[in-house]
Structure formats: structure tokens, C-alpha cells
């Protein structure tokens, strides 16, 4: 297709262009594009239009000519957008719809077959192709049964219009919007994002349409039952089961943290990772008590176990291990655990999301590729060295997600694209002037900036397998690491005296806790106070810390904590806003009278303001979205972000919680989505971290039914 010759991205519309070439030649006996040499053929494809089909085959119905011409448009946007659209057009032709606008034939009745032949052949060709594809999709591709030409057959499955799979970030952190292939290899489940709303979709391979499954909003990490009749997935810190194709999700169990994968055994047990910072658990799919399966060996440097995959016949569980030394999950270890004792041992150094094939191979992902290695199921040992098996697979190095799944017989689905890494930069933005990017930091992207009291430095978060906090010198434009060791460090702030770093970390396992450490690194981090959650803001002279603390069932609630100049608490955390809707990011005004926070009780993030002395008295500040509120240091304005921009509102009356109308602080022309901001010295402009493409939406799924047979050869 033209876009392929020009080195641009290809998708399902490129396949429709190729189909148009085939239909053109079937109907006319001539190729749509010709050339005496490869160069002249390329020039013909890029520049020339094929002759009208009626000029070569006079009895070609005009409707068929138009249908094929649309397939052959140079611009993919001008072609048929899905095979389903073209199928319906050809079905209409087959019902004599093509006779519109064609003069009545005067030849003898025996000529009628010739009149109908071109478009009948075209419709038959497409019907035959669909039928053959359906047979191929549903076949269980076992070793040696298919010749190389069939084993090499592969295709691209376009997603529904306006639906994409978020492959970089999802649900506020590294993406877990993985896809799953049914054990029979006849359908795939995936997380689709449409109009900002995510849900679980099911696509049968003998159908052109994907079906959105009911009540699966916010789903992540789906996986099939062994018989393919049910799906399991994670949402709202719970594990759900749903009967296919049109059941209603039923809760199986809850969890305190963000889940990272699950797998369903042949005997009805589900193994899952209920936390990004702990071990694997197991629970009967029929319901019952959940119990821990593995134990994280923290003395040897293990941080968490994730992405389990159950071996057949109860032979064990494959999974990934995040280590304290892992800079990305490409450095993770792949291990196998005993199903009875939970004891585990390492098989491979460097990889994630392992899968087992019945022909005795172990497949795993690393740095945008799939690898394969021989694996003896009886002894549960690896034989030989891994070899590269497939390039250009989408992976997320920060959490070990790999966008692929494979049946035990070797049918494969995956998303192309290689490693998904955040790119972006920092910019000073304010009313009336364009964004000023900090050019010398563009090659290293950080997030969530917080400025020092003298505005000469910023503490930022660098994403990785173990997130770390760095210090940016805004005068010299250089960056140095502040924290080290295992676990994720997040949401760093400077104390008032500038000597201490206050932050959250899951370095102790079991979720994020609150810490402080000297900025000079002269001592190890020490606990600030009990609880799990994230630091958001610090207010002076009020000396109040705003934190989001996690509850057992309701998500996060907003608290404030009184602190000293060095950041040490002088009192217990005080609840400002709680409940089941998720209250985040509290920020206390400098005079200590008002607290702003964000809540999802309306169905999306909005900013609310309440009195610190009367938390039950509050006012909703935004109507079309808002998050991450921050006060300027004079307490005269409140800032928040929404839809890629920062806004501010002037405070009219603190007792009445009255504000002026919002004013845009950042320009709409600044590229990328906001990943945190802080307020500049002038009190009206902001330092913003922007991600260039925060979702990296995938628009199609690659299908290779005979991949296992190809791999064996």
C-alpha cells in the first residue's frame, strides 16, 4: 500500500487496499497497478490511478467499481475504514443492488451470467476469505499439521471506531490494559478506551465486531477460564468473574493494592497478584477463602511477585519477580513456584510475563521482544539459552506488562510497538506568554515537580521498575538522584527549613508509607507517621501537610497533618474528606483556614473546598473537571489542572469560600498532558511536567494462529 512504501504506519486499511487490488484483477483480468520495473511499479502505486474497471470489463456494475476504487484510495482515511463496511457493500451488490444506474441488458438470457460474473466473483471471493479465516482462527494449531504457508499466515484486527488500547499509562499509573487469548484461540479480550471511558471488550475471530462487556468499567489484566466460557479481570481493587458472552460480573474477592496479573488453573484455582508490592495468592474460582501462595524473599532483594501463569496438570506456577536492583522490569527474574508449598526458584534472569507451550517451550517478554526457551515440564527446568522469537511487541518496562498472549498450542495475539517509555519535558507557563521549555532536560523525563522555598531547585519523580526521586538544579539545569534502593519512591516535597525530603515509598512492602530523610543523604529514611498513602502538598506558615491515605474498602481519603519546620509531625492525621468516592490531593491554604481537595463523587475528578475547622461544610469549585489543587504562597489564588491546562481562581472570601471565575494559566497550544505542576515565584505562572503521549493508544491487534508451528521450525 502507498503508506507502506512511504514508511508510514500500516493498519487494517492497508489490508483493504491489498484486497482492492485482488478484486480489481479478478473482475478485469488486469492488475490495478503495473510497471516494467520495481521502481516504475512503486511510482504507479504512489502516483497513478487505476483505469476504471468498466473500461476493461464493460459490464462491470458501477457500484462495484466505486467499492473497489474506495479500497484503492491513496489516503487511508479515504478508504473503507473496516472490512465490515466493505462486506456490507458487497452483500448489497450480491442482492442486485448494483443494477442501479446500469442500462437494461438486451442480450439473450444466457448472457446474464456474464453480466453478473465480475461482482458475483468479488462477493464470493470475500465470503470465501471470511469463511477460510474463520476456519483458521478456530483451528487448534498443533505441531506439524499445517504447511509453512498456512503457519506463516497472520493478520491485523482493527478495533472499533474511536476505541484504543492504552499501552503506556492506564488508571493513573503504568498500563495494565493487557489482552487475553481464549484457550481455543477463537477470541480475544482486551481493554478498550473510548471517550475517556475504559471497559472490557470481547472479539470473536469469526466476527467483524467487538462487543463491550457490561459493567466492566475500569477493567484491567483479563484472563480466560480453561474452557473459555468465562473471563476474570480486576477493577476497583477487586477480582471479578463474568460469564461469556453476556453475563454480569460477580465479585470473587477484594484486595488492598493495585493488582498485577492472574491465571486460571485446569482444576479451578485462580492464582493472582493482589499487590504491586507483595506475593502471589490463590483462591477457588467457585468461591472460598483466599490464601497466600508464595512468599517474597526480601532478604535476597525480592520486592514483589507478579504476572502469574499456571502450568498444566498442577505442575506449578510461572511468574515474574521484581528485585530491589531492577531499574526496569526487563531486569526482572522469571521463576516457578510449587503449587502446594509455594516454594520458588529462579529459571531465567531478565524477562516478564512467562507462558508455557505444550510443545515444551517457555515464552516470555523482554524489552519489546518475545523470547523462547526449551522447558521440561516434569523437572520444571530450562534447557539451553533463550532465543529471540518475535520483535516489536509492546511492553511496559516500568511494571513488566507485555501486550501479548499465546495458547498452549501456539496461537498468538499481540500489539506491536516495542517498549513504551514516557517522553516529555518541563515548561514554565503563564498567562500572556508561550510555554518556555527547559531544553537541557528534555532528554530525561521526570514527573510531579515540587519547588524548593527559594525556587532554585525541584524534586521530581523518575519512573522505573523502582521509581526514584531526583533533584533538579534549575540554575545549572542538571539532575541528580536523591533516593536509592528497592521499592518505589514518590511524591517528594522539601521541608520548610530546606534540609529534609518528605516522601512516600513502598520500600517496606505492603503499600506506600510516609518517610523523611536528610537531603544530603547522610542518613537512611525514617518513618514519619503510620498509614498508607501519598504526600501531596505542604503549607506555610500554617505548617500543614496534605496527604491522601488509603482505607481498606473505600480507596483514598483526604487528611492533613500538623508538622514542624523539619517536616516532623506534631499531631495525628486529621480527616478532612472521606467516603467511598475517592478523595485525593488535599492542600491547606497558607493561613490554615481552608482545604482544597479532589473527589470523584460526581463521576469524574472535581475540586472541592472545605473549612479546616468544619470539614462537613464545603463547596464544589469546578464543574467540568479539576484535579491536584494547590494554593499560591500568599493564599490569594487556588490552582488546579484539567484537560491539559492549568487554571487558577482568586479567593474573594475565606469564610464564605467564594472565588472568582477560573482563569487559564497555561496556554492551550502547549503539547502533551500534564504530569504534575507547581507554582512559580511570581505566584501566577507554573512549572509543568508534560508527557508527550501519555496513553500511546494502540488501534489494532495482531493475530498469528500458526506462530507456535513457525517457532518450532
8 A C-beta contact, residue 211 and residue 227? no
| Highest-pLDDT range among 215-229, 463-477, 514-528 | 215-229
Q: Is 162's pLDDT higher than 50?
A: yes
pLDDT of residue 382: 96
Residue 574 three-state SS: strand
pLDDT at 127 over 60: no
Lowest mean per-residue pLDDT among 47-56, 113-122, 285-294, 431-440: 113-122
Q: What does the DSSP 8-state code read for residue 360?
A: T
pLDDT classification of 511: cutoffs 50, 70, 90: confident
Parallel, antiparallel, or unpaired for β 513-518 and 500-505?
A: antiparallel
Instruction: With residue 477 as reference, give the H or E element that holds it.
Output: none
pLDDT for the residue numbered 392: 94
What is the structure's pLDDT at 113?
39
**Percentage of the residues of the chain whose pLDDT score is greater than 70:** 90
Contact in structure between 642 and 631 (CB atoms under 8 Å): no
- Candidates 605, 613, 594; CA nearest to 652 is 594
What DSSP designation does 134 have? Answer: H
Stretch 322-346: mean pLDDT: 93
110 pLDDT band (50/70/90 cuts)? very low
Looking at residue 120, its pLDDT comes to 52
pLDDT tens across 305-321, in order? 999 999 998 899 999 99
pLDDT in tens, 606-629: 999 999 998 888 999 999 999 999
The β-bridge relationship of strands 526-527 and 250-254 is unpaired
| 396-448 pLDDT tens trace | 999 999 999 999 999 999 999 999 988 888 888 888 777 787 766 655 566 78
Q: Report the pLDDT value the prediction gives residue 138, as an integer from 0 to 100.
A: 40
| pLDDT 10s digits, 230-245 | 999 999 889 999 999 9
The per-residue pLDDT for 132 is 39
Joined together, the cell numbers standing for residue 154 give 497472520
pLDDT surpasses 90 at 193:
yes
b/e sequence 295-311, b meaning 16+ C-beta within 10 Å: ebeeeeebbbbbbbbbb
The answer to whether the CB of 191 falls within 8 A of the CB of 170 is yes
Residue 475 vs residue 148, higher pLDDT: 475
pLDDT higher than 90, residue 134: no
Contacting residues for 10 by C-beta, under 8 A, at least 6 apart: 1, 3, 4, 156
Task: Report the range of poorest mean pLDDT among 93-97, 106-110, 126-130, 406-410.
Answer: 106-110
Amino acid at each position: 500500500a502507498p503508506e507502506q512504501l512511504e514508511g508510514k504506519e500500516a493498519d487494517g486499511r492497508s489490508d483493504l487496499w491489498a484486497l482492492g487490488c485482488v478484486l480489481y484483477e479478478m473482475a478485469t483480468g488486469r492488475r490495478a497497478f503495473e510497471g516494467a520495473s520495481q521502481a516504475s511499479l512503486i511510482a504507479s502505486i504512489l502516483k497513478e490511478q487505476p483505469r476504471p474497471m468498466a473500461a476493461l470489463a464493460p459490464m462491470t456494475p458501477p457500484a462495484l467499481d466505486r467499492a473497489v476504487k474506495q479500497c484503492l484510495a491513496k489516503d487511508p482515511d479515504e478508504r473503507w475504514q473496516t472490512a465490515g463496511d466493505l462486506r456490507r457493500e458487497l452483500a448489497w451488490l450480491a442482492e442486485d443492488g448494483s443494477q442501479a444506474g446500469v442500462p437494461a441488458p438486451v442480450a439473450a438470457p444466457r448472457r446474464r451470467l456474464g453480466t453478473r460474473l465480475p461482482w458475483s466473483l468479488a462477493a464470493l471471493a470475500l465470503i470465501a476469505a471470511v469463511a477460510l479465516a474463520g476456519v483458521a482462527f478456530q483451528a487448534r494449531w498443533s505441531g506439524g499439521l499445517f504447511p509453512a504457508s498456512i503457519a506463516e499466515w497472520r493478520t491485523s484486527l482493527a478495533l472499533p471506531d474511536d476505541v484504543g488500547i492504552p499501552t503506556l499509562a492506564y488508571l493513573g499509573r503504568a498500563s495494565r490494559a493487557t489482552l487475553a487469548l481464549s484457550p481455543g484461540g477463537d477470541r480475544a479480550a482486551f481493554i478498550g478506551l473510548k471517550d475517556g471511558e475504559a471497559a472490557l471488550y470481547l472479539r470473536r475471530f469469526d466476527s467483524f465486531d467487538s462487543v463491550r462487556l457490561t459493567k466492566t468499567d475500569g477493567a484491567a489484566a483479563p484472563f480466560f477460564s480453561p474452557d473459555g466460557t468465562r473471563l476474570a479481570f480486576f477493577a476497583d481493587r477487586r477480582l471479578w468473574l463474568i460469564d461469556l458472552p453476556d453475563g454480569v460480573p460477580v465479585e470473587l474477592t477484594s484486595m488492598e493494592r493495585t493488582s498485577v496479573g492472574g491465571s486460571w488453573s485446569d482444576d479451578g484455582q485462580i492464582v493472582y497478584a493482589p499487590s504491586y508490592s507483595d506475593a502471589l495468592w490463590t483462591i477457588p474460582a467457585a468461591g472460598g477463602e483466599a490464601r497466600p501462595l508464595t512468599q517474597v524473599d526480601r532478604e535476597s532483594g525480592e520486592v514483589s511477585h507478579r504476572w502469574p501463569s499456571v502450568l498444566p496438570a498442577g505442575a506449578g506456577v510461572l511468574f515474574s519477580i521484581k528485585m530491589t536492583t531492577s531499574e526496569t522490569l526487563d531486569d526482572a527474574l522469571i521463576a516457578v513456584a510449587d503449587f502446594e508449598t509455594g516454594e520458588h526458584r529462579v529459571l531465567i534472569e531478565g524477562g516478564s510475563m512467562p507462558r508455557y507451550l505444550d510443545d515444551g517451550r517457555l515464552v516470555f517478554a523482554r524489552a519489546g521482544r518475545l523470547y523462547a526457551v526449551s522447558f521440561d515440564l516434569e523437572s520444571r527446568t530450562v534447557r539451553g539459552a533463550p532465543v529471540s522469537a518475535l520483535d516489536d511487541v509492546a511492553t511496559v518496562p516500568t511494571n513488566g506488562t507485555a501486550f501479548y498472549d499465546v495458547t498452549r498450542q501456539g496461537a498468538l495475539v499481540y500489539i506491536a510497538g516495542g517498549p513504551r517509555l514516557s517522553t516529555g519535558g518541563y515548561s514554565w507557563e503563564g498567562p500572556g506568554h508561550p510555554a518556555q521549555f527547559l531544553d537541557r532536560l528534555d532528554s530525561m523525563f521526570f514527573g510531579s515537580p515540587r519547588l524548593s522555598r527559594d525556587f532554585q531547585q525541584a524534586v521530581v519523580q523518575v519512573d522505573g521498575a523502582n521509581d526514584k526521586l531526583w533533584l533538579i538544579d534549575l540554575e545549572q539545569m542538571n539532575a541528580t538522584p536523591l533516593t536509592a534502593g528497592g521499592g518505589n519512591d514518590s511524591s517528594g516535597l522539601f521541608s520548610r527549613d530546606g534540609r529534609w525530603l518528605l516522601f512516600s515509598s513502598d520500600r517496606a512492602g505492603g503499600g506506600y508509607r510516609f518517610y523523611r530523610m536528610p537531603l544530603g543523604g547522610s542518613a537512611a529514611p525514617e518513618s514519619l507517621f503510620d498509614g498508607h498513602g501519598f504526600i501531596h502538598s505542604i503549607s506555610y506558615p500554617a505548617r500543614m501537610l496534605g496527604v491522601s491515605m488509603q482505607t481498606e474498602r473505600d480507596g483514598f481519603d483526604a487528611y492533613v497533618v500538623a508538622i514542624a519546620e523539619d517536616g516532623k509531625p506534631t499531631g495525628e492525621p486529621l480527616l478532612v474528606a472521606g467516603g467511598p468516592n475517592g478523595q485525593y490531593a488535599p492542600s491547606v491554604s497558607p493561613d490554615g483556614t481552608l482545604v482544597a481537595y479532589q473527589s470523584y463523587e460526581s463521576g469524574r475528578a472535581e475540586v472541592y473546598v472545605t473549612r479546616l475547622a468544619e470539614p462537613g461544610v464545603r463547596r464544589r469549585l469546578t464543574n467540568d473537571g479539576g484535579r491536584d489543587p494547590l494554593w499560591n504562597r500568599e493564599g490569594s489564588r487556588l490552582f488546579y489542572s484539567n484537560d491539559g491546562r492549568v487554571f487558577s481562581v482568586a479567593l474573594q472570601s475565606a469564610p464564605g469560600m467564594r472565588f472568582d471565575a477560573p482563569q487559564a494559566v497555561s496556554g492551550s497550544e502547549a503539547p502533551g498532558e500534564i504530569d504534575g505542576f507547581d507554582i512559580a515565584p511570581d505566584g501566577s505562572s507554573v512549572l509543568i511536567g508534560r508527557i508527550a503521549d501519555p496513553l500511546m493508544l494502540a488501534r489494532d491487534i495482531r493475530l498469528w494462529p500458526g506462530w507456535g508451528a513457525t517457532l518450532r521450525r
